[in-house]
Structure 1
Amino acid sequence: LLSKAMGDEKTKQWLEYNLSLIPKTIEQSRAYVAARGAKILSYSITIDGYDSMSSVMCTQDEVDPGTEKARKELEERLVKRKAEKKETEERLEKQRAEKQEQEERQYNLKIDGKDVTDLTGKMVELLGTSTSIGVMENGVSTFDVLA
């Protein structure tokens, strides 16, 4: 291309124009890369002809202090959420245990009566239920009667 530009005025003007754009292009690339927190290590431009131009840029990213701060904040939030989740699970487990304990409570009632029918009537009256009362053993209701 260079030897052709020496003999052809149009090619010479084209090449000079494109070469004059290179410093501005490199400066724009440097600004773009710096805005991302990186730097240019190398920049290569190849011009093979009117229809063949290419550039290769090698950059090195540097850790942005803002990124490090954001990472630490995220880790702190995750630790906090984990602690909150653990507290919630412990509270729910405690509630489940209390509920189960309430369901497993046994009540001792003392009811005086003349016979089983009288005792059953008094228990229904006291408990407000018409269901079977007592422990069922072989289909028979049993009562502990204290004298």
Structure 2
Amino acid sequence: MKIAGLSDRYPVAGKELTQKKPNSVKEYSNYLTQKYGCLTRGPNSAVSVTGGLLKKAMADEKTGAWLERELAKAPDYIKAAQESAKAHGATLKSVTIEFGEEYSTMCTLTVTDGGGNDPEIDKWLERVKEKRAEQKEAEKRLEQEQKALEVQDGMHSMEIHGKDLEDLTKKFSGKLSEQTQFNPFGNFDARA
């Protein structure tokens, strides 16, 4: 008599792919720069975050969420400013956005006559867009890896041999007690 097809829908080993939380302002700044392409300066465009806001965002989850939300929108703000200038017969020549303490945002724009788009800002916006697409792809891959790991950890097969159902049950209980976690809702098929 043997038991086959044991499956547990929950991970046993508890493995999870996680990112290390930054310990310093410099690490947090590097993390944000990698995640948000807009923090990489262009010739005529820049988005920055003050050191005070970085410290506050590290300590306060709400501030960190606000900052990341605003950084994600920054290229859209610049594109909107560019389109607005163009609609009024002008050209946006340079733009700087600085996020500061107390949820403040300072924006400096240089606008000239001409009614077009500055090619340097267009190139910068395109690089930011590509970085955003790469980031989404990386997040998607990470999510797929986590799901694959959960499935791999959550499914187990074991073969137990015994002389009767009572013997099998004892051996099965022994094997389960060796696991680090036990799911009472797991299932198995008993075949004679």
TM-score by length of 1: 0.39
Larger gyration radius, structure 1 or structure 2:
1
Between Structure 1 and Structure 2, the one with more helix by share is 1
Bigger RCO (CA 8 Å, 6+ sep): 2
